Amino acid sequence: MFKEWRIKTVFGIFFILFLLVIWKLVQWQIINYDKYRVLAEQQRTINMEMSSPRGSIYSADGSTLAYNQPAWGVYVNVKDIRDGKDSRSKYEIIRLISPVLEISEDILDERINMSLNYVPLKHKVSEDTVSALKEIGISSLRYEQEEKRVYPEGRMASHIIGFVGKDDIGRESGRYGIEGYFDGDLSGKKGFVTAEKDTFGRLIVTGELESIVARKGRDITLTIDRGLQRIVEKGIRKGVEDFEARSGTVIVMDPKTGAILAMANYPNYDPNEYWNIKDSSILNNLAVSHVYEFGSVSKIFTAAAVVEEDSSNLKAKVEAHTGCIEILDKTVCNWNRQNHGEESLVEVLQKSCNVGTYYFARKIGSQKLYDYLLSFGIGKASDITLQEDATSFLKDWRKWSELDLATASFGQAISATPIQIISGISAIANGGERMQPHIVSTITDDDRIIEFEPQIASTPVSKDTADSVTDMMVEVMKDGGFQWYVQDITNYHLAGKTGSGQVPYQDRPGYDPTKVNTTFVAYDARPERKFIMLVGLQEPQVGGYASDTAVPVWVSIFKELSVYMGITPIE
Ligand SMILES: [Zn+2]
């Protein structure tokens, strides 16, 4: 009996509390919806401003690429005006502050809603503006410390860095690139200030706010060399303009460590004014996100695979073949349908012979070729720590037809991102070991430094095989159908390969015969192996194949890069 009474009482109390909560919710959300929505927004805004200082981003030489500049939020305490605590009227105040804040009187009139208590007028204003306002002496104005993200180099490295923008609920957060990927590290631990405010959203701000900061964001130093970055940005821009390409990409990497020394795309944007761009696709770093058919560069992976499986393939010749071959019910041809006669592997690479590559690939078969491609990093994300890093799709070898084996061997119907392609070829440059591509060298906390050590991502082939393939790529530089463009850099001992990939239609199956994506990847073949560089042009309207587009752009960038990096001719 007693027990039942107690249960009923407890239940009754809970029921009353429940009704109270419901009533409060109705009051908040329905009756006073507009009022509380505005207040909630103010609260959020203030929370955002109280976040701990965001970490900076530096290039390898310590130059600042992104930092936070102190700024101020200007607020008006409307209640003071309403209660007559401010000697001036709303309209007198508006007239005085409009020119200083550079906001029209109409907009200020609208913003200063007299039924509210506390209204933000403008965010991220400079110290000078605040001084000018203080000089006028308006007692109802309030100032809150804020921070403004500044990118002192403007467009330079914009695709690597990203920017700080607003997310869906108006909170500031890192978007794209390093700002996006490392948002948690950069933004640090936020100071939460809700407790400092009363239920009307009033927050009288003084200097104490700094003490709320929990932990400053971490600083990030990139592997990017600022001088080299400038060179490649200028070069890829000129390349895109000269060949009227839709876009262009360039990556320079140290093949011995996997460190990215420079990475750029054109067109680019200014992260200080990211909101001014018209087409949001421009924000994507194509070097890590553009999955495309990279054409004959893939023949290097095939050559490495067949030599690794059987080094006698270095001396083997494939039987004389015509410029085309029937596979299943399809005819596969060389790019110029030429008949080369009997040829060796190096000749197949020099002539970029599709039929010959397929002949060699047949010796190892689909499963082996697939395994090698995966080991070279094709068909999976590069794991570079940039937000847009994309994976690519490599069809399971068990589903390959004979035609799939052929096209994969010479680089059709297989796709990858520029970072995956350069990473794969860098394994050849680095004696068979593919180093994990990385763009961050250190992350610095208040009390520690996290350093990124070079790591082996995979070892697709042995050193012997890699060195043999390098030798073949050196021969390609000498006689690969683009000698005219490289004639004045022949004594630099470079190894390279071109690729011209088909472009699928956007809206139907098949390839658009008017479009091509061109790639040239080449590296320092001296023992120092100082660099590897990829240049890609998306849909150039002038020039055609890679040998006439990506190669000359690569060469013109190399001429500056070699001086900058101190790479001298051999003879
Ligand atoms: Zn051939």
Q: What is the CATH number of the domain that holds 64?
A: 3.90.1310.10
How many Cα atoms sit within 13 Å of 209 on the Cβ side?
A: 23
Give the model's pLDDT for residue 17: 67
Nearest to 429 by CA among 533, 344, 558: 533
46, with CB counted inside 10 A (0-12, 13-18, 19+), is: buried
Instruction: Give the β-pairing of 440-444 and 343-344.
Output: unpaired
Look at residue 198 and tell me whether its pLDDT is greater than 50: no
Look at residue 334 and tell me if it is in a domain.
yes
Taking the centre of ligand 1 as the mean of its atom positions, its distance from the CA of residue 353, in whole angstroms, is 4
Contacts of 305 (CB under 8 A, 6+ apart): 361, 364, 368, 369, 372, 461
Residues 6+ apart with CB under 8 A from 207: none
Structural domain count of the chain: 3
The alpha-helical segments, DSSP class H, found in 117-202 are 127-136, 158-161, 177-181, 183-187
**Which parts of 460-549 fold into alpha helices (H)?**
463-479, 483-486
Residues 32 and 56 in one domain: no
Distance of CA 195 to the CA centre of its chain: 38
89 with 253: CB under 8 angstroms?
A: no
Question: What is the rounded distance in angstroms from the CA atom of residue 532 to the CA atom of residue 509?
Answer: 35
331 Cα to the center of ligand 1, angstroms:
15
- Provide φ and ψ at 402, rounded to 5°: -60, -35
CB atoms within 10 A of CB 339: 12
How many CB atoms lie under 10 A from the CB of residue 292? 23
Decide: 350 and 481 in contact? Cβ < 8 Å. Answer: yes
Q: CA dist 155 to 152, 162, 279, Å?
A: 9, 10, 16
Measured in angstroms, how far is the CA atom of residue 476 from the centroid of ligand 1?
A: 14
Q: Which of 24-28, 196-200, 382-386 has the lowest mean pLDDT?
A: 196-200
Residue (of 212, 218, 271, 219) closest to 51 by Cα position: 212
358 alpha carbon to ligand 1 midpoint, in Å?
A: 10
Q: Measure 460 CA to ligand 1 centroid, in angstroms.
A: 26
Output the CA 556–ligand 1 centroid distance in Å.
30
Find all residues with CB under 8 Å of 241, minimum gap 6, and list them.
none
Shared domain check, 236 and 90: no
18/101 same-domain check: no
CA of 323 to the centre of ligand 1 (A): 7
Q: Are residues 436 and 521 in the same domain?
A: yes
pLDDT, one tens digit per residue, over 524-567 is 999 999 999 999 999 999 998 999 999 999 999 999 999 999 99
CATH code for the domain of 429: 3.40.710.10
State in Å: Cα 409 to ligand 1 middle.
Answer: 14
Phi–psi pair at 569, nearest 5 degrees = -60, 155
Dihedral sign (CA 206, 208, 213, 217): positive
* Better pLDDT: 34 or 224: 224
Confidence of residue 39 (pLDDT cuts 50, 70, 90): low
Distance CA 228, CA 532 (A): 13
Q: Report which residue type is found at 253.
A: M
Share of the chain above pLDDT 70, in %: 87
Claim to verify: residue 366 and residue 376 sit in the same structural domain: yes
CB of 550 closer than 8 Å to CB of 566: no
The residue whose two tokens read 């029937």 is 326
Residues spanned by the domain of 206 = 44-222
The DSSP call for residue 30 is I
Q: Given this model, what pLDDT does residue 47 score?
A: 45
Pick from 201-210, 330-339, 441-450: least confident: 201-210
C-alpha span between 534 and 416 (Å, rounded)? 13
Instruction: Return the pLDDT at 203.
Output: 52
Element (H or E) spanning 138, and its range?
A: none
The chain-wide mean pLDDT, for the chain, equals: 89
CA of 58 to the centre of ligand 1 (A): 49
Q: Are residues 50 and 14 in the same domain?
A: no
Q: Name which of 44-53, 158-167, 283-292, 502-511 the model is least confident about.
A: 44-53
Clarify whether residues 549 and 405 are in a common domain.
Answer: yes
Q: Please indicate, yes or no, whether residues 215 and 257 belong to a single structural domain of this protein.
A: no
Residues 356 and 423 in one domain: yes
Are residue 262 and residue 164 in the same domain, yes or no?
no
CA of 533 to the centre of ligand 1 (A): 27
Between the CA of 541 and the centroid of ligand 1 the distance, in Å, is 28
Distance from the CA of 360 to the center of ligand 1, in angstroms?
11
Does residue 281 sit within a domain? no
Could you tell me the distance, in angstroms and rounded to a whole number, from the CA of residue 342 to the centre of ligand 1?
A: 8
Q: Are residues 190 and 261 located together in one domain of the fold?
A: no
Asked whether residue 279 is assigned to any structural domain, the reply reads no
In a domain, 278, yes or no: no
**Lowest-pLDDT range, 2-11, 181-190, 342-351?**
2-11
239, 194: one domain: no
Residue 510 lies in a domain: yes
DSSP state letter for 461: S
Q: How far is the CA of 355 from the centre of ligand 1 (A)?
A: 6
Cα 398 to averaged position of ligand 1 atoms, centre (Å): 28
d(CA 204, CA 451): 42
Q: Is residue 277 part of a domain?
A: no
